[in-house]
Structure 1
Amino acid sequence: MRLNYPVIFPLNQLTYVGEDDSAFFCQIHGRRFNALSTRYMLPADEEEVRRSELQHKIIQFLFNGKNYVGPIADILSPREGQERCRVLDLGTGGGFWAIDLADEFPSAEVIGVDLAPIQPREVPANCTFELCDLDQFYLPYPSEHFDVIHARFMHTGIENYSRFLHEIARMLRPGGLVILIEPDTEPIADEKSASHFTRSGQPSGMRGWFTLWETYRKCLRDKGIDVNIPPELSNLVASTGAFNRIVSQEGNIPIGFWPKDPVALSIGQLAWMNYDIMLPAMKPLFLSAGMRDWEAKKLIEEAHQDLYYPLVRASSRLHIVHAIKKAK
């Protein structure tokens, strides 16, 4: 079991997080945030770790109890005379995916990377966590070094996602696997998107919910984030020219307790809890964007009202892409 874990900074400086990790955090409008990036504006505290765990459970339900899609098991199977396989989990959050994968594949080396040390200190011997701002021109990892690279729920912290994908392609060995999972930031009600209601002029039944997400998307754009990345994942992966066998999937994630199917209901309950935590976590972003405190409070309260007492069936859309890096 590891009690400390290495930290990689943009200039490839290496240090270790000890018992006092306060230097890696800062306070913004009453919430704890990472100290490495001002672009990613969701907190780094116990509530966000809980939300990371809920997202992890949602994905497990979607993948029928598994933690991944694609041929990971084949790629990470130990082979005689082959060096140890390496896995990189970008935007690891609470570290749940990295830890589960390290447990499932004890012969593989698993590295989880995030902006803040919010992961457990005691982890499997083949799992480590590192700190790095992934929103930079060059990531401090060797070329063709990893067999699997995984990234999910993190595009809102990356200004140039195309550049980010090129870095993934550089770090991945030929024949290696990339897995990307990103949710839309555009809300859905009764299987219709916010843009549909804007065009049609029909009431959504969740005006507070839709207004909050419209505001959130504007704040992301103001910070240089392309909010249209998730639906374009497959095209962006293809545009690198580095991958083949690109497989793209998408589906609606129910939010709340309306689904009749037991699995969908479980996903809906987890998604509801995820957003219940996420709504107040948005407040520092709104305040940093110049919104007055009472305005941010009202915006979040009205969205919460729609979440608690929905008049329509709310959902979100998730985009999942996996691909194999081309052989030379």
Structure 2
Amino acid sequence: MLKSEQPRYYASTQYILPADQAETARLNEQHIIILKAFENRLFLAPLNLNTGDRVLESAAGSGIWAVEFAEANHVNGNEVEIECIDISSKQFPTTPGPPHVHFSIHSVTSLPLEWVNTFSYIHQRFVVLALNDSLWRSSIKELFRVLKLGGWIELVELETKRLHSNLGPCTDKLCSWVDKLYAEKGIIQDISVYLCPILEEAGFIDVHCETREVPVGGLVKQVGNGYTGEHCGKVCMAMKEFLINKGVSDFVTEKEFDELVEGAVPEWNNSKDAYVRYYTIFAQKPVFS
């Protein structure tokens, strides 16, 4: 059963996924899937970092990416300083990690003033479900400000536009509610089409976008990577607070919602067509500004 007896913790009324240990476990699973989708590369930008360079990971969550990035640089003889930020400390690790990885509470829409021209590389992943147009524009301007001249930014995001239909009645109903929630929150669809010009408007150059499609359900074993129906069910359960209490789901009861998600899981698992689309978008701050 996917039902959780524990109340979920949400760090923001804008961000529709929780910031708790259950969500941390799901995100750590997702990290492995995304890494495989991008050929086991932690980054795609053409980096040339040296010992002492500072790196910012925005929306760090548990810091799993930052820890692996620090370890990979250590193996190569570089000791980079990584600042991991998030709007909540709930998902920060409770045990000490690499000495050059630091965690602090900050919003990407309002970074410390003293960080101007500080970081040689910025990595951010999966904030599309937290930002509307205004917040995206504020965050990109802030990231441009704190990036060093010649530094690189890398944004990893998922497509929120529905990519498939007719997977089954439970899935179609859930997706219609999710679409309504996205519209209510101002969540951006066609995220790659949206983000690339926003980066250029902020002053970034050499903008690149790479796309990967990750299967859901029936093709996962064949491909060797992807999401099970159960993982997708966890995502829906994580959104339950917003989907059943905010008026987008026709005021169903919690029991009805749980049964609907349980019904959707085998529909996803039996599908040969469902997939999730991811983008890695990277760009450079000009050497001369």
Q: Same fold (TM over 0.5)?
A: yes
CA RMSD of aligned residues (A): 2.3
Counterpart Cα distance in 2 of 1:244 and 1:255: 34
Please tell me whether residue 124 in structure 1 is matched to residue 98 in structure 2.
yes
Distance 2:201 2:172 in 1: 32
Question: Matched residues, percent identical?
Answer: 26
Q: 1:179 to 1:94 in 2, by over 3 A?
A: same
In structure 1, the residue matched to 2:15 is 40
**Given the alignment, which residue of 226, 244, 250 partners 2:211?**
250
Q: In the superposition, relative to structure 1, how do residues 220 and 133 fare at CA in structure 2: closer, same or farther (>3 Å)?
A: farther
The equivalent of 1:16 in structure 2 is: none
CA contact (8 A) 1:91 1:151 kept: yes
Query: Letter of the aligned partner of 1:256 in structure 2?
Result: G
For 2:161, the equivalent position in structure 1 comes to: 186
Amino acid at match of 2:242: L
The residue identity in structure 2 corresponding to 1:32 is R
Contact 2:233 2:261 in 1 (8 A): no
Q: Does 1:94 align with 2:81?
A: no
Give the C-alpha shift of residue 52 in structure 1: 1.1
Query: Among residues 128, 134, 146, which one is paired with 2:119 in the alignment?
Result: 146
CA distance change for structure 1 residues 226 and 205 in 2, over 3 Å: closer, same or farther? closer
In structure 2, list runs of 5 or more residues that go unmatched: none
Partner of 2:186: 224
Structure-2 residue corresponding to 1:173: 148
Question: CA-to-partner distance for each residue in 1:61-81, whole Å, 9 max, x for gaps?
Answer: 123222111122x1x133xxx
Instruction: Tell me how far 1:260 sits from its aligned partner.
Output: 7.2
**Letter of the aligned partner of 2:93 in structure 1?**
P
Matched, 1:115 2:72: no
Whether the aligned pair in 1 keeps the contact of 2:228 and 2:269 (CA below 8 Å) is no
DSSP-derived class of the 1:70 partner: coil
- The normalised TM-score by structure 1 is 0.75
Other structure's SS at 1:157 match? coil
1:322 aligned partner, one-letter code: F
More strand by share: 1
Give the Cα separation in 2 of the matches to 1:131 and 1:256.
36
- The amino acid of 1:244's aligned partner reads I
Query: TM-score if structure 2 supplies the norm length?
Result: 0.84
Does residue 286 (structure 1) correspond to residue 258 (structure 2)? The answer is no
Amino acid at match of 2:246: A
SS for the counterpart of 1:303 is: helix
Q: Does the Cα contact within 8 Å between 1:231 and 1:319 map onto a contact in 2? A: no
Return closer, same or farther for 1:30/1:222 CA change in 2, 3 Å cut-off: farther
Report SS of the residue matched to 2:153.
strand
1:63 lines up with 2:38 in the alignment: yes
Structure 1 unmatched runs, 5+: 1-28, 79-83, 195-203
Query: Matched residues in 1 for 2:201 and 2:99: separation?
Result: 37
Aligned length: 271
Separation (CA, whole Å) in 2 of partners of 1:272 and 1:112: 31
